[in-house]
Amino acid sequence: MPEERPFKELSGNLEGSLCRPQRSKWKRRSSCSGGLDTENTPHELIQQWSPPHKKILTSAKGNENEEHIFVLARRPRKRRESSAGMCWDSLPDELLLGILSRLSLQDLLRTSRVCKRWHRLAFDESLWHSVDLVGKAQLDAELGQVLSAGALRLRCPHTCIAQPRFKSAQKLRVQHLDLSNCTVESSVLEDILSRCRHLQNLSLEGLVLSDSIIHSLVQNTEIVRLNLCGCSDFSPESLAEMLKSCTGIEEMNVSWCDFNNLHIQAIVNNIPSSITQLNISGYRQNLTMEDVKAIVNRCPNLTNLDLSDSVLVTVDSFPVLQQLSSLRHLALSRCYQIPPASLIDFEKFLNLQTLEVFGLIQDSYLPILCKGLPHIQINTQPFSTVARPTSASRKDRTLWGMHCSLVYKH
C-alpha cells in the first residue's frame, strides 16, 4: 500500500465541491467485527422477518412468591453468519477495491466517510490513476488534491482553475494531462507543470503560457504528444530549448500560435527527427518554401503533415513532399498559391490516403478530382487530430485513446 496521505481534508473538500447536494446512499454503521446483530437493518423488517417471541413463563406458586416473580427466558444465541448475510468487514481489501473501482467520483467520496478502513481504501492510488473531471466548471484546492492522490491521467478541459494549493513540494505522478482551453493564470499553470517529471501526453491548447512554463516542459523528456495549438506569450529561445530537450516527441501541434518568423525558425531548426505527425498551419506569410524543405529534411518519417493557411506554399512543394515516402495524410487547405488544376499531380503520391484542400476547389469540381484520384479521400477531415487528446468527431470520453475509470458525473 502507498504511503498514507492526509486525505481527511481531501474527502471533505471534494465532498463539498464535487458531490451533488443529495443525501448519501451510504450510511454509517458500526463495525461488524463483533459478530452480533449490529447491521443497520430497518426495525420493521426485523420484526416482520423474525419468528414470534416465545411467551415468558412465570412462576407464582405460594404466597411467599407473590412479591418475587421469577422470569424464565433463554439467553439469546449469537447469530450465525451465512453467505447471504456476510459482513462487509470480512471481505478482503482486493475485493472491496474491485467494488469501489466501479463507483463514480461522487459515490467514491461518499464511501470514504463510512469508516476508517473504507476511507483508506477509497483513496488507494489504484482507484485514482485516471480521473475525468469534464463538466466540473470550477476547480480550486481539489485539483491539487486529486493530482496529489496519484493520478496518472487527468482530463479537465474547459474548466476554470484557481489555486490548486498543493500541501507539499512533492513531484506529481501524472503522465497524461489535458488542460485544453481552461481559464487559468500562467502562474498557476507554472506551479502545476513545475511539479511534473513524467509527462508523456500534454495538451495546453488555447492557453496563455510563459517562458517558465516552457522551461518546465524541458524537464519532461518523455513527452510523446504535445498540443500547443493557439498558445501565446513565450519566446523563440524557450521554444528552441524545449525542442532540443524533448527529442522523443512523435506528435506536435503548434498551429495558430502567436508566432513570428523567429518562432517558425526555432521550430524548423530544432524540430526532432522523431516527429511523425506535425501541424504547423496558420502562419500565412511566416512559413516559406525553404521552411517546408527544412521540415522534410529533418523529419523524413512524417505520416501526417498539415501546412494549411500558408499562402507562400506553392506547387513547387509537391516534389519536396513526395520525398516523404511514409506520408499518409496531407492538409493544404487555403494555400491559395496552389491552383486547383495542379491537384491532379497527387496521383504520383501512391501512399497518400487523405488530402485536405478546403478553400482551393469548388464543390462542383470535387467529384471530378475524386474520380481522378480514386485512391485518395479528399476533404474528409475539416479539423486536425494531430496531438489532440480527443477527436472532434468522437463523442466518447477518451484521452488520447485511453479511458478514465474515475468519472465526474454531472
Give the angle subtended at the CA of 209 by the CAs of 203 and 212, to the nearest 5°: 110
Chain centre distance of CA 387? 14
12: left (phi over 0), alpha (psi -120 to 50) or beta: alpha
Of 50, 57, 52, 51, give the one whose Cα is nearest residue 73. Answer: 57
Give the DSSP per-residue string, 67-117: S--EEE-PPPPPPPP-GGG--GGGS-HHHHHHHHTTS-HHHHHHHTTT-HH
Q: What is the pLDDT of residue 90?
A: 82
Over 50: is that where the pLDDT of 192 sits? yes
Q: What is the pLDDT of residue 88?
A: 79
Residue 164 near residue 190, CB atoms below 8 Å: no
Residue 233 near residue 258, CB atoms below 8 Å: yes
72 pairs with which residues across the strands? 57
Q: Which of 28-32, 66-70, 97-101 has the highest mean pLDDT?
A: 97-101
Over 60: is that where the pLDDT of 57 sits? no
Q: Is 141 or 360 the better-scoring residue by pLDDT?
A: 360
**Percent of the chain at pLDDT above 90?**
56
Query: Stretch 394-407: mean pLDDT, rounded?
Result: 80
Q: Is the pTM of this model over 0.95?
A: no
Residue 349 near residue 165, CB atoms below 8 Å: no
* pLDDT tens-digit readout, 284-316: 999 999 999 999 999 999 999 999 999 999 999
* pLDDT tens-digit readout, 316-347: 999 999 999 999 999 999 999 999 999 999 99
Q: What is the pLDDT of residue 325?
A: 95
Query: Stretch 240-257: mean pLDDT, rounded?
Result: 97
Between 76-80, 170-174, 371-375, 378-382, the lowest mean confidence (pLDDT) is in 76-80
Q: What is the pLDDT of residue 389?
A: 94
Mean pLDDT, the chain, as a whole number?
Answer: 83
Q: How far apart are CA 230 and CA 58, in angstroms?
A: 89
Residue 132 near residue 155, CB atoms below 8 Å: yes
Measured between alpha carbons, how far is residue 183 from residues 148, 188, 190, 238, 377 in Å?
Answer: 21, 10, 14, 23, 37
**Percent of the chain at pLDDT above 70?**
77
* pLDDT tens-digit readout, 58-71: 555 555 555 666 56
- H or E element at residue 281: none
Q: What is the pLDDT of residue 1?
A: 44
Q: What is the pLDDT of residue 40?
A: 46
| Domains of the chain (ranges, CATH numbers) | 91-127 (1.20.1280.50), 128-254+385-409 (3.80.10.10), 282-383 (3.80.10.10)
Over 50: is that where the pLDDT of 46 sits? no
Q: Give the pairing type, strands 377-378 and 354-356.
A: parallel
Q: How far apart are CA 327 and CA 305, in angstroms?
A: 8
